[in-house]
């Protein structure tokens, strides 16, 4: 009995929860993996552009502010309420409900929350977006590579307070960091790793900074922590040790708020001396301390494995049922590499071919399509060279598809490499598919209709439903919550293909059709056919009105 349930569990958990150390497509973290890899250009979501250059001000906001610094401070303030004894708090997005607290003074937190809101989705929480934003922004400023693990879960309400404030004593700060899980040496490091970008704003801390407001250049009166606020480097330590320091929390006129002075000297300056002496030591220490900061999550939240860019990965690849009874496979293939050959590659000269296997495991020389590149598909990555290639090919429903591999090379002179997703190919099911024809999005208070087709030759369809997820506003926060509607499909009849029957479902979503939120809608289709579950995940937003 125990063995049976163990085996059942293994079956149910596969493949998303298999921790074989290899990231296998598809994964619940595909969207975040793409966001990690695609920094700018085609396919990127704008996160890195928002912090480029490193001095960049949040779009539409006053000069003097620095987005990278605001994201890092927001992430620390979200984490700083963690209680290692109870396991409550940590990086859980609760900051979105805590912006009115004195310990979170300023508009920075809401600006940050507002930026990441439109990037939230069923498979990318606000907390994951914020953590990833910090990882990308720090790398983009010349800082360390901070390993990124996905899987943070957003809080639905405010947590306990507990962010350190500059007028508090050293003992209070040591105790606060101990509660957060960091000892005194680590506290010194973490504060220096934070206070190397950005600065103190006079509008928020008039008791610490005077006379810095020089409208219009610096309307918030920012005084930077060091002379290289827009480079992630050890100058905060170099200047502290050599006495040329400008950090308003070290040499500020108000001794009470000179918390950095108390913290940096708490171990007789040993940590700061080691940082000042070795820029690489500073970077590696900051990499590991910030990694721990970002991975401090509520007890019970299990983070996924560190995301390493996949070499070859489908990007928004989808199989659709079209109104002539055929199937169309369309989307992109992404190729990533860190070698000099990868960096030198001209995508126009890269052969990329998708070769598929039919639904019965059969192969045929006709089962292949060439991917193409165009100027508009140019993309960059902070971590290496990345290229995307588009494909669009009919698939004969009689033979269908079950998986594919990609044959490719960095130029036409090189031998082809076959990428097979860790051995068994990239799986693709053709059993339950979205049907564009007749599917439409309702306006306010009007139902939406989604049509699907399901194979009619594979046994009984015992269950078929849609999970339609959209973002919704919530009181007291500029971040969005995810709402999932589940609706059952009903069988309609035959379709334009002898292999598929048509199903339909109708439901009310009121998700802000054609507004800002519209592009973060996605829907998954599920069907249990002949006792097996098939799913078509992450279908794109419906733009056809009913
Ligand atoms: C005892 C602990 C800490 C205290 C008392 C403290 C205090 C402050 C204060 C007063 C400011 C000015 C904020 C403003 O003007 O809007 C500031 C800014 C900042 N803090 Fe901290 N901080 C602490 C720890 C940290 C840590 C651990 C990090 C991150 C690892 C961090 C990251 C930042 C950043 C990036 C800024 C610049 C924000 C900007 O330029 O908009 N701080 N901090
Ligand atoms: C803090 O922990 C580190 C390990 O991360 C250790 O090397 C260091 O000695 C500890 N410092 C104190 C003050 O306990
Ligand atoms: C120094 O800071 C403390 C704490 O914020 C404040 O109470 C005091 O008024 C400040 N002193 C001056 C001279 O601004
Ligand atoms: C630590 O460094 C600061 C700034 O350079 C200096 O003022 C202070 O005297 C030093 N403290 C110790 C214990 O060396
Ligand atoms: C490939 O397709 C062509 C055109 O439909 C057909 O004539 C040919 O027999 C097919 N080749 C194989 C190996 O099935
Ligand atoms: C941030 O936005 C929320 C939601 O709109 C609002 O309730 C809160 O007052 C804002 N906080 C600040 C500091 O403006
Ligand atoms: C679908 O059903 C209709 C009416 O039952 C029939 O006339 C038509 O031939 C069927 N189409 C297919 C593709 O089987
Ligand atoms: C709208 O959807 C709901 C829920 O699926 C359903 O009960 C209702 O009949 C639908 N209304 C219309 C007018 O189709």
Contact present, 188 and 263 (Cβ < 8 Å): yes
Question: Lowest-pLDDT range, 25-39, 80-94, 401-415, 506-520?
Answer: 506-520
DSSP bridge pairs for 405 = 355
Q: How many CA atoms lie within 13 A of 89 on its CB side?
A: 24
Question: Could you tell me which residue, 442 or 450, shows the higher pLDDT?
Answer: 450
Contact present, 122 and 482 (Cβ < 8 Å): yes
- Inside any domain, residue 516: yes
Q: How far is the CA of 185 from the centre of ligand 2 (A)?
A: 6
Most confident of 139-153, 460-474, 518-532: 139-153
Q: Which of 487, 483, 486 is nearest to 470 (CA)?
A: 483
State if residue 59 touches ligand 8 by the CB under 6 angstroms criterion.
no
448 and 404 in one domain?
A: no
- Provide mean pLDDT across the span 237-243: 98
Arithmetic mean of pLDDT over the chain: 93
Q: What is the 3-state secondary structure (H, E, C) of 81-138?
A: CCECCCCECCCCCHHHHCCCCHHHCCCHHHHHHHHHHHHCECCECHHHHHHHHHHHHH
For 66-110, write each residue's pLDDT tens digit: 999 999 999 999 999 999 999 999 999 999 999 999 999 999 999
CA 149/CA 154 separation, integer angstroms? 15
- Provide mean pLDDT across the span 458-471: 95
CA 322/CA 338 separation, integer angstroms? 39
249 and 100 in one domain?
A: yes
Burial class (CB in 10 A: 0-12, 13-18, 19+), 136: buried
- Inside any domain, residue 16: no
CA 36/CA 33 separation, integer angstroms? 5
Question: Could you tell me which residue, 23 or 42, shows the higher pLDDT?
Answer: 42
122 and 271 in one domain?
A: yes
pLDDT at 535 over 90: yes
Closest residue (by CA) to atom 14 of ligand 4?
A: 268
225 and 79 in one domain?
A: yes
Q: Which of 399, 394, 414 is nearest to 339 (CA)?
A: 414
Under the banding of pLDDT at 50, 70 and 90, the label for residue 46 is very high
Q: Provide the residue range defining the domain that includes 289.
A: 47-294
- Inside any domain, residue 7: no
Closest residue (by CA) to atom 17 of ligand 1?
A: 200
Contact present, 456 and 499 (Cβ < 8 Å): yes
State if residue 257 touches ligand 3 by the CB under 6 angstroms criterion.
yes
384 and 322 in one domain?
A: yes
Alpha helices in 29-84 (DSSP H): 30-37, 47-50, 67-79
For 106-126, write each residue's pLDDT tens digit: 999 999 999 999 899 999 999
Q: Which domain-ending residue is among 407, 427, 447?
A: 427
Alpha helices in 295-448 (DSSP H): 340-344
State if residue 207 touches ligand 3 by the CB under 6 angstroms criterion.
yes
pLDDT at 20 over 50: no
515 and 441 in one domain?
A: yes
386 and 240 in one domain?
A: no
CA 222/CA 205 separation, integer angstroms? 10
CA 82/CA 177 separation, integer angstroms? 9
| Ligand 4 atom nearest residue 241's Cα | 5
In this structure, what CATH number is given to the domain that contains residue 405?
2.60.40.2440
390 and 271 in one domain?
A: no
CA 127/CA 130 separation, integer angstroms? 5
| pLDDT the model gives residue 307 | 97
Under the banding of pLDDT at 50, 70 and 90, the label for residue 54 is very high
Which tokens is 14 given?
Answer: 């596969």
Nearest ligand to the C-alpha atom of residue 456:
7
Count structural domains, the chain: 3
Which residues have CB under 8 Å from 539's CB, separation 6+? 318, 434, 522, 523, 524, 525
Q: Which domain-ending residue is among 427, 442, 462?
A: 427
Contact present, 226 and 244 (Cβ < 8 Å): no
| Ligand 6 atom nearest residue 105's Cα | 13
State if residue 273 touches ligand 4 by the CB under 6 angstroms criterion.
no
Contact present, 63 and 216 (Cβ < 8 Å): yes
Which tokens is 418 given?
Answer: 């076959």
For 205-235, write each residue's pLDDT tens digit: 999 999 999 889 999 999 999 999 999 999 9
Q: How far is the CA of 200 from the centre of ligand 4 (A)?
A: 22
Contact present, 308 and 372 (Cβ < 8 Å): no
Read off the pTM.
Answer: 0.94
Q: Which of 14, 10, 64 is nearest to 198 (CA)?
A: 64
- Inside any domain, residue 18: no
Q: How far is the CA of 288 from the centre of ligand 4 (A)?
A: 26
- Inside any domain, residue 38: no
| pLDDT the model gives residue 14 | 39
- Provide mean pLDDT across the span 31-55: 97
Q: Which of 43, 31, 30, 67 is nearest to 381 (CA)?
A: 43
Closest residue (by CA) to atom 11 of ligand 5?
A: 366
Mutate to test the pocket of ligand 7, among 324, 326, 494, 495 (most ligand atoms within 8 A of CB): 494
3 state SS of 289: helix
Nearest ligand to the C-alpha atom of residue 96:
6
Q: Which domain-ending residue is among 376, 397, 427?
A: 427
| pLDDT the model gives residue 60 | 85
DSSP bridge pairs for 352 = 408
329 and 244 in one domain?
A: no
Alpha helices in 231-339 (DSSP H): 235-242, 259-264, 270-277, 279-294
Q: How far is the CA of 141 from the centre of ligand 3 (A)?
A: 33
321 and 252 in one domain?
A: no
Which tokens is 342 given?
Answer: 């990868």
- Inside any domain, residue 168: yes
- Strand residues in 441-521 grouped as ranges (E): 448-455, 461-474, 477-488, 490-494, 500-507
CA 504/CA 524 separation, integer angstroms? 14
- Inside any domain, residue 546: no
Closest residue (by CA) to atom 9 of ligand 3?
A: 207
Question: Lowest-pLDDT range, 216-225, 363-372, 424-433, 511-520?
Answer: 511-520
In this structure, what CATH number is given to the domain that contains residue 499?
2.60.40.10
128 and 142 in one domain?
A: yes
183 and 204 in one domain?
A: yes
State if residue 108 touches ligand 1 by the CB under 6 angstroms criterion.
yes
| Ligand 7 atom nearest residue 494's Cα | 1
**Residue tagged 């599917």 (tokens):** 439
CA 420/CA 262 separation, integer angstroms? 56
Closest residue (by CA) to atom 3 of ligand 5?
A: 366
Which residues have CB under 6 Å of ligand 5?
Answer: 364-366
- Inside any domain, residue 187: yes
In this structure, what CATH number is given to the domain that contains residue 138?
1.10.520.10
């Amino acid at each position: 009995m125990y063995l049976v349930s163990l085996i059942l569990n293994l079956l149910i958990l596969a493949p998303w929860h298999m921790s074989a150390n290899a990231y296998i497509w598809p994964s619940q973290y595909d969207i975040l993996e793409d966001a990690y890899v695609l920094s700018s250009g085609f396919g990127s979501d704008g996160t890195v552009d928002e912090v480029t250059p490193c001095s960049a001000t949040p779009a539409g906001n006053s000069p003097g502010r620095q987005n990278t610094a605001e994201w890092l401070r927001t992430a620390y303030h979200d984490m700083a309420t963690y209680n290692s004894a109870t396991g409550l708090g940590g990086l859980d997005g609760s900051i979105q409900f805590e912006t009115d607290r004195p310990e979170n003074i300023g508009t920075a937190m809401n600006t940050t929350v507002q930026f990441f809101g439109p990037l939230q989705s069923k498979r990318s929480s606000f907390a994951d977006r914020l953590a990833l934003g910090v990882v990308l922004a720090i790398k983009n400023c010349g800082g360390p590579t901070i390993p990124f693990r996905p899987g943070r879960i957003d809080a639905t309400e405010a947590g306990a307070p507990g962010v350190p404030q500059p007028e508090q004593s050293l003992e209070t700060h040591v105790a606060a960091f101990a509660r957060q899980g960091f000892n005194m040496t680590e506290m010194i490091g973490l504060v220096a790793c934070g206070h190397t970008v950005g600065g103190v704003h006079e509008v928020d801390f008039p008791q610490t900074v005077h006379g810095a407001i020089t409208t219009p250049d610096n309307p918030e009166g920012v005084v930077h922590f060091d002379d290289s606020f827009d480079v992630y480097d050890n100058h905060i330590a170099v200047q502290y040790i050599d006495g040329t320091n400008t950090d308003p929390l070290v040499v500020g006129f108000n001794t009470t708020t000179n918390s950095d002075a108390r913290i940096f000297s708490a171990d007789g300056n040993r940590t700061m001396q080691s940082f000042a002496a070795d820029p690489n030591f500073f970077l590696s220490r900051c990499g590991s301390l910030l990694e721990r900061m970002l991975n401090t999550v509520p007890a019970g939240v299990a983070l996924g494995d560190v995301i390493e860019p996949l070499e070859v990965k489908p990007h928004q690849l989808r199989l659709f049922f079209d109104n002539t009874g055929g199937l169309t496979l369309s989307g992109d293939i992404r190729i990533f590499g860190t070698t000099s050959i990868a960096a030198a590659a001209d995508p126009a000269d890269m052969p990329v071919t998708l070769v598929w296997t039919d639904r019965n495991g059969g192969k045929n020389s006709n089962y292949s399509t060439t991917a193409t590149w165009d100027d508009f598909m140019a993309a960059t990555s902070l971590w290496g060279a990345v290229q995307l290639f588009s494909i669009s090919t009919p698939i004969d429903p009689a033979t269908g598809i079950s998986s594919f591999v990609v044959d490719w090379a960095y130029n036409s002179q090189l031998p082809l490499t076959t990428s097979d997703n860790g051995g068994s190919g990239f799986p693709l099911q053709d059993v339950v598919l979205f049907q564009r024809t007749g599917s439409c999005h309702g306006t306010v208070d009007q139902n939406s209709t989604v049509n699907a087709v399901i194979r009619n030759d594979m046994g009984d369809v015992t269950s078929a439903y849609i999970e339609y997820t959209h973002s919704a506003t919530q009181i007291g926060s500029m971040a969005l919550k995810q709402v999932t509607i589940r609706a059952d499909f009903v069988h309609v009849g035959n379709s334009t293909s002898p292999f598929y029957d048509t199903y339909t479902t109708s439901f009310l979503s009121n998700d802000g059709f054609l507004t800002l939120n519209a592009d973060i809608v996605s829907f998954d289709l599920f069907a249990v056919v002949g006792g097996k579950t098939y799913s078509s995940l992450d279908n794109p937003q419906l733009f056809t009105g009913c």
